Structure 1
Amino acid sequence: MIPSHEPHAVPGTEHGIMVVVVGPSGAGKDTLMALAAKHFSGRAEVHFVRRVITRDGGAGGEDHLSVSDAGFASMEQSGSFAVWWEAHGLKYGIPAEVSVALGKGHLVIANGSRSALHHFKAVFPRLKVINVTARPDVLAARLETRGRETHEDIMARLARGPLTVRGDYNVTELDNSGSLEEAERKILDVINEFLKEVH
């Protein structure tokens, strides 16, 4: 995951707050972000980022702009991304237009990756991280219902690394081991607290 250029802070982005939601597969971050986006849809000062991904648009999961590898490379070279990274054989980009909302002092929320947080930190001075996690047994059960991996593969993946965020970041931990309603209430509370800081 080595970008062709080192990301750097964009003037004006220090007025707003960039929130990056991260978490392992099975933690439910996509579901929680969709619920939060629906809840805050009437708030002009809250923006949810539509990522650019080199993944088929019909593959399910989050709503994203699907592009080819060549298209992604062209966008990267033209400066279309504030941040971009590679993970699991795919490329992900955060559109440069987020700087407009941040320049207005708004709250911008993006789906991210723990391995890419250092890129976000280099670009966005006011960065906050929401780390959505769940107990290993809960993660394993959710992943097994997807039917994409064997039980052994899932347990091996969960054993490979911690679920925490490593590094000097402003992190809010959100445990989604319980009911979806409980986790939804938690993420809405966290976002509302962040909103108090942009006014």
Structure 2
Amino acid sequence: MSGEHSDGTLVVVVGPSGAGKDSVINFALDRLSGLAVHRVRRVITRAGEAGGEDHEAISPGGFEARLAQGGFAVSWSAHGLSYGIPADTLVRLRQGQILIANGSRHALDHFRAKFARIRIVNIVASPEVLAKRLVTRGRESEQEILARLQRRVPDLLDEPDVITIDNSGSIEIAGERLAALVAELRQPVL
């Protein structure tokens, strides 16, 4: 045995809309291309583009049917959409894979209950940066953007299993920080 855990780790990336979660994940995965680190492809009841996220689009009825069949390890609803982490994520983790998933702050208790080994990364950005990114994204009206920015969310700053990365500046800074964190998970445990 190489000294690595037989069980993998799920890195759950959370943060507000516009913080650049998918951009940071993409940057880190590019940096980690030589390691066995993979993205969890979320299932979302959104047709078409989902920011920079490679996702599986599904109808609301299809989502409910898959949920009823046990097709998700974790699922949640937000912003009028349903999101799911495929059930095969558990199999992949048992095989020792390191996986990165775009999650939700509201669903963290579900992630913690379902996955034995998780790391939570909270991607944040200044309110000005968030607003600018949401406008540039062009998916929502000005009123919807304001509602998103004013929404109350759980504060993760004081939780011991959460690492916060500020992505207000260069993507390289935040991306390198996430890549370094994930690379440490690949190190053998003594």
Same fold (TM > 0.5): yes
SS of equivalent residue, structure 1 residue 196: coil
| TM-score of the aligned structures, taking structure 1 as reference length | 0.81
Aligned to 1:101: 92
CA distance in 2, matches of 1:76, 1:157: 27
Aligned to 2:33: 41
Q: Percent of counterpart pairs with the same letter?
A: 50
Q: Per chain length, whose mean CA-contact separation is higher, i.e. which structure has more relative contact order (CA < 8 Å, sep 6+)?
A: 2
User: Once the two structures are superposed, what CA deviation does each residue of 1:130-179 show, in whole Å capped at 9, x if it has no partner?
Assistant: 000011222223223334343x7645643443674278561010001111
Aligned to 2:108: 117
Q: Structure 1, unaligned stretches of length 5 or more?
A: 1-12
CA distance in 1, matches of 2:26, 2:42: 13
Pairs within 5 Å for 1:1-199 = 15-44=7-36, 46-58=37-49, 60-147=51-138, 148-150=140-142, 154=145, 157-161=148-152, 164-165=155-156, 168=159, 170-196=161-187
- TM-superposed CA distance for 1:14, in Å, is 8.5
Contact 2:27 2:175 survives alignment (8 Å): yes
What is the total number of aligned residue pairs between the two structures? 185
Q: Structure 2, unaligned stretches of length 5 or more?
A: none
Instruction: Compute the RMSD of aligned alpha carbons.
Output: 2.6
| TM-score of the aligned structures, taking structure 2 as reference length | 0.84
